[in-house]
Chain A
Amino acid sequence: MQHGGLGNSELRREIWPLLLKVHENSNFLTDWKATVQPNEYSEIIERDVNRSLFGLDITDHFTEDQRLFKRSQLSKIINAVINKNPNLHYFQGFNSICTVFLLISDEDLGFKMSYQCAELFIKDSMRKSFEEGVSLEMHLIYELLEKNDKKLTKKLRQIYTIDTNVNSPMFSLSWVLTWLSHNMHSFDKLCRVFDFCLASHPLAPIYIAAAIILNEKTSIMKCADMPEIHQYFHDLVRHIDVEMVCDMSLNMMCMFYPSKLVNRSVKKFHDDSPLYFDCEFEDILKHLPYGKGIQWQLVVSVIVLMVAVGYSLYYNLSFL
C-alpha cells in the first residue's frame, strides 16, 4: 500500500506468492506440467501467445530466441491453468496477466501465481461469458463515480447508454480485464499496479478504473461522444501516474468499502465469486488514515503548525 509498492522484483518474487496464497494450494499446484495438453481454447491461446512478450520495456530488447522460449513457457502456463479447472474460461487479455507473473519469476512459479490469480482474483472475468461476471463488475464503476462526481457520471451514462445501450463505461473494460497489463509499456509501473491489486481486493481494478476516469474528468467533460472518449484514453493509460492512481483507489476503498460496493450490483455474483471472500482487508482499511480520518490528520497538522509558528513568533518577539 505504501508509496512505490514493493519496489523491486526480488521482493515481488517473495511477496506475490504469499499474497496469492500459493503455499495453501501447493498440493494441487504441483505436477502441473502434466496438464498442458490442448483444450477448447488452445487455438486462440496459441495465437495470442504468439503475439505476447511484446510491447513492454523489458521485452523490447529480447532476442528472438528469448522471446520464443518465453512464449513456449507462457503457452504451457495458460493451457495448464485452463486444464486444471474447467470452470476457468480463457479470455483474450489473460495472456497479458500471465506474462507479468512469468516475467517476475519463472515458469513454475509463473504458473502457480497465474492459477491462483485466476482462482482468487479474476474468476469473474473467466466465467463462460462476461455477462456472468466482469460485466456486472463494470457497472460498479458508475457507483464509485457517482459518489465523487455526479455530473461526470451523468455525462458518461448518457453517452454510453445512447451509443451502446450498455450500462458501463466500456472504454475501461481492457483495464479491468488485464489490470492495465494490456495498456502499459513500463513493466515497473505495471508491477506497481499488480502490487496494489494483489495486496487489496479483487475489486481493485474497478477502483483503479474509477480513479483514472475521475482524474481525467475535465477532459472527459469536453468529449462529445464515444469515439472521442476512446481516442482520448487510447494512449493516455501508458502515461498515467500509477502512484497517484493507486492512492486515489485506496482512498475510495476507505470511503466506499468493497463489500458495500459488491452489494450495489444489480445482479448477484456467483456464490463462489472471490468478491465475497475477503474480509480481512477491510479491517486494515479501517485503520488507514484515509477518508474521514484524513480530516483529523489535517486538523492535527494545522494545530501543530500553528503552535510552532506561534512559539517561534513569541520567541522572536521576546528576543527583540
Chain B
Amino acid sequence: MATMECKIVTLGEGRVGKTSLALKYVKNEFHKDEISTVNANYLTKLVQIPQGSVQLNIWDTAGQERFRAIASNYYRQAKGALIVYDITDRKSFDKVVSWIKELKSQAEKNIVIVVAGNKCDMEKERQINRPEALEFCRKMQIRHFDTSAKSGNGVEEMFMELASQIFEANKGELGQSGRNSRRGKITVEKTKHRENSGKKGGCC
C-alpha cells in the first residue's frame, strides 16, 4: 500500500508540552517531569487514515529562543508543523503568532500547520480563553485542538488531522518516486517501521 512519508516538526515556547505530546502520541507515555529538550528529539509513527497511510517522522525541537535558529534546520522541507502553547501561559500563546509567521515565510509553501492548546486538564488555571484561541486560528485558517498530554485528550485526533491534511495537500506527488524521500518528499515504498527509541525523550 502507498505510504506517504513526511517530516513534521513541533514548535513552541519552552515547557508547553511539545515533547510530552509527541511521546503521548507515539508511545502513550507521560512523564510529569519531562526533561527539557536540548536541540531536538526524533520520533516516528505510522498512521492509518482512510485515504492511505502516512508515516509521520516527528522532529521535536527545543523551546528556548536561542535554539530557534537551530529549529529552522528541522522545519526545512517539513510537510507539517505542530505549534504548541500552554493554555495556562499567556506568553506561550503570543509566541504562536511569531511561529506561524516564520513558517509562512521560511518553510515549504504548502506546509500544514495545526495549533495545540495544551494542558487542557488544567482548566482552572486557564489564561487564554477558548473563543479567543479559536477565532485567532480561524482567521489564520489553521485547525486548533485542545489537548492534554497528561490525559491524552485530543492528542490522537490532532495527529490524525495533521496526517490527513498532509496527505490531501501532497497526494499529487504520491507515486512520483523521490530520490530524497526520507528527507520529507513523498514516495511509494514498502512500509517500513523505524524502531522508536528513547525512554524519556531525552535529547540528541
A interface residues with partner B (beta carbon < 8 Å): 43-44, 47-48, 50-51, 54-55, 89, 91-93, 95, 129-131, 162-166, 170-171, 173-174, 177-178, 182-183, 224-228, 230-231, 233-235, 237
Contacts and interface: CB of A to CB of B under 8 A. Distances in A.
B14 to A, nearest CB: 5
Given A231-B42, A231-B197, A54 B183 contact: no
A215 to B, nearest CB: 16
Nearest to A53: B33
Given A54-B33, A182-B35, A129 B73 contact: no
Given A55-B35, A164-B76, A234 B41 contact: yes
A230 B109 CA distance: 26
Nearest to B34: A51
Given A91-B64, A230-B204, A47 B73 contact: no
A48 to B, nearest CB: 5
B200 interface: yes
Contacts of B38: 92-93, 173-174, 177-178, 182
B3 interface: no
Given A44-B14, A234-B41, A129 B63 contact: no
Top 5 nearest A-B pairs (CB, nearest first) are: A164-B73, A47-B15, A174-B38, A230-B42, A174-B203
A231 to B, nearest CB: 5
A183 B36 CA distance: 11
Nearest to B199: A235
Contacts of B124: none
A43 B16 CA distance: 13
Contacts of B42: 227, 230-231, 234
Contacts of B40: 170, 230
A231 B194 contact: yes
A170 B39 contact: yes
Interface string B14-45: 11000000000000000001111111111010
A89 B66 contact: yes
B73 A174 contact: no
Q: Sort chain B's interface into a size bin.
A: 35 or more
Given A92-B37, A131-B69, A225 B64 contact: no
B36 A234 contact: no
Given A47-B15, A48-B36, A182 B203 contact: yes
A182 B202 contact: yes
Given A182-B35, A231-B195, A234-B198, A92 B182 contact: no
A230 B103 CA distance: 23
B204 A233 contact: yes
Contacts of A92: 14, 36-38, 62-64, 67
A1 to B, nearest CB: 28
Given A91-B64, A170-B70, A47 B204 contact: no
B179 to A, nearest CB: 11
Interface in B34-92: 34-42, 44, 57, 62-64, 66-67, 69-70, 73-74, 76, 91
A51 B33 contact: yes
Contact of A171 (B44, B63, B195, B204): B204
Of B36, B198, B199, chain A has the most CB atoms within 10 Å of the CB of B36
B183 A170 contact: no
Contacts of B203: 174, 182-183
Contacts of A89: 66
B36 A165 contact: no
Contacts of B37: 92
Contacts of B36: 47-48, 51, 92-93, 95
Contact of A166 (B14, B73, B194): B73
Nearest to B194: A231
A130 B66 contact: yes
B6 to A, nearest CB: 12
B64 A234 contact: no
A288 B163 CA distance: 57
Of B36, B38, B42, chain A has the most CB atoms within 10 Å of the CB of B38
B66 A129 contact: yes
Contacts of B44: 227, 231
Given A55-B200, A130-B66, A183-B203, 16 more contacts: A43-B91, A47-B14, A54-B33, A55-B35, A55-B202, A92-B63, A129-B69, A170-B39, A170-B73, A171-B204, A173-B38, A182-B202, A224-B182, A226-B183, A227-B57, A231-B195
A143 B41 CA distance: 26
B76 to A, nearest CB: 7
Nearest to B32: A51
A234 B39 contact: no
A130 B70 contact: yes
A225 B14 contact: no
